Structure 1
């Protein structure tokens, strides 16, 4: 039986959790497991970094991209097996458990999903369908119908809104382009610029990207050449200028082809991490907060083929999964040096590929 939680019920649970005090604060990690068609839920001990299994939720399909609603009430999960769907999963802040509330069609098999800053619109990027799309999200936080589909060059890979929510940016791997699209936040319609916001070198293969916490820079990882781009972001014009291009490959890299995957910045903006799948490593960089430039700290081995990782909201821990590994690694981030210390490994499902984290 499917349980329906109203927005009031969710708010009440959140208030109860908040009133329990700092001692009851909790951080939860959500891992999508494509091949076992489920999502693993863990509670993170904020003092030790230890994980406690909370739930394994079967979703009935190849689950890959995940996205949190801005209000932290819902987790959205994209299914890349037919029928292509986005699931709206309510999060219980008292224990982190998920309850499926609604399933809605996606326009294609989507490699990436995210929401705008208001939580009214769900964006998606299709690698195989060469397109971007928008689904509406209703006032109850449930993703619904597809509102718009926009054709792109080959292999659209990621899509995120700008900090001001006026524009949306998208990476198109096969076109070596980072697109800018104006967002009408009232209607949920996107209008693409004629020229890319940033044109990359041929066969770079732009993949995932993040904005710095202070909104002054964009960090864009390539899939095909093992590079990471630092772009200065003009907050008034929503434009970028290249600042730096660095390698994410380990010094002893011996693979035939680089295979960049994911990138994240610590909440304080001091450190950046990137994953590389051929070498199964995590690269760490110190961020110069004035210039945005990166200085290499080191490289750490991690789970095999690390498609996804994430950093907890405190910035103390990094969690990483590998698509060819049955476990997830937890690391403590040294707040002074940015180095990683392995704390342990925990079983996850098959084909683990994405991690989202939330703190209540």
Structure 2
């Protein structure tokens, strides 16, 4: 890991129950995280994403009318100024931008669909220009590092959809191989590309595994490489592959994994699990993509979302059932998080974005 760089940084957290986005300043020398206030957005505000140039924060509201709000970020104060509101076709579990910042992708868990919206020259999200049906329970959607392809998980059908992306029109079309499978009952949820762009790490919400796929930049196709148990379900007394809505034998609760992030140097991977309220750390061999479980730590209750600082030094964790955020320092050698402070949060805190200038 690199040494901490004293940049101006702001943390944004969506609070679904309060309908707000909380703002915090984040300083590393000395380490302080200070609440700056809350921005009203709407009931059940959840996924956030930031424009490539860090000018805008986008917030998706999962209550009717479904919409995305475009906020300009003040780099001097971190304040958010609402500049545009645009409709979304459904309740969207995840949003992201293409690498040009001209198009916004969204995935709907309940609607089993993905969509593309145009972003104008001012950075405002506008009308939806495309909707596509997916497998059951679309959950995450992201472009490839070269911006030529887009991938979207379908948790209910245990696969990742593979799409070609036209950077000029913003339109998606199915690739020659439309999907790549996970293991049965994995429930693929969130995923990240390795920093070198060679691998995709996908978290199984229902199994607690991290599935590694090789990415072929020439075809835009993923190929299954391996799967590693990222959440030690046996030790924790959890059952794999059971949706939370189903009954569980012997009163053993199910695995309920949520978020996944990789350090910028590609050496460590982190996943959150909500049943036991833990963050699991995995070591990654960047050249081969091999992943190995290192350990886990207890964190804020029901950690749906977290984020890492750019220098791989700190992690901010939100807990949907907690009244505060946790700040953790990451060990240079082992990658393990160590809690160093906490700050108050809103109700239903679920998504974290860290913006550094």
Same fold (TM over 0.5): yes
Residue 192 (structure 1) aligns with: 174
Asked if 1:29 corresponds to 2:11, the answer is yes
Q: Is the 8 A contact 1:26 1:46 kept in 2?
A: no
The gaps in structure 1 that reach 5 residues or longer are 1-21
Asked if 1:287 corresponds to 2:284, the answer is yes
Asked if 1:176 corresponds to 2:158, the answer is yes
How do 1:131-150 and structure 2 match up within 5 A? 131-150=113-132
30, 36, 39: which one aligns with 2:21: 39
Asked if 1:254 corresponds to 2:251, the answer is no
255, 266, 269: which one aligns with 1:269: 266
Residues 342/96 of structure 1: CA separation in 2 closer, same or farther (3 Å cut) = same
In 2, the alpha carbon distance for the partners of 1:202 and 1:305 equals 25
SS in 1 for 2:264: coil
Q: Is the 8 A contact 1:243 1:293 kept in 2?
A: no
Residues 49/273 of structure 1: CA separation in 2 closer, same or farther (3 Å cut) = farther
Asked if 1:319 corresponds to 2:316, the answer is yes
How do 1:1-360 and structure 2 match up within 5 A? 25-193=7-175, 195-250=177-232, 252-255=235-238, 256-360=253-357
The RMSD of aligned alpha carbons is 1.5
Residue 6 (structure 1) aligns with: none
What CA deviation, in whole Å up to 9, does each residue of 1:240-264 have, x standing for no partner?
A: 2222211122362123211110100
SS in 2 for 1:252: helix
Shift of 1:27: 1.0
Residues 60/181 of structure 1: CA separation in 2 closer, same or farther (3 Å cut) = same
In 2, the alpha carbon distance for the partners of 1:127 and 1:58 equals 24
The gaps in structure 2 that reach 5 residues or longer are 239-252
In 1, the alpha carbon distance for the partners of 2:168 and 2:209 equals 37
In 1, the alpha carbon distance for the partners of 2:149 and 2:319 equals 32
In 2, the alpha carbon distance for the partners of 1:157 and 1:239 equals 19
Shift of 1:267: 1.1
Q: Is the 8 A contact 1:248 1:276 kept in 2?
A: no
What CA deviation, in whole Å up to 9, does each residue of 1:311-333 have, x standing for no partner?
A: 01121100111111111101001
Residue 5 (structure 1) aligns with: none
Shift of 1:173: 0.6
Residue 3 (structure 1) aligns with: none
In 1, the alpha carbon distance for the partners of 2:228 and 2:328 equals 24
Shift of 1:201: 2.0
In 2, the alpha carbon distance for the partners of 1:135 and 1:29 equals 25
In 2, the alpha carbon distance for the partners of 1:88 and 1:321 equals 22
SS in 2 for 1:83: coil
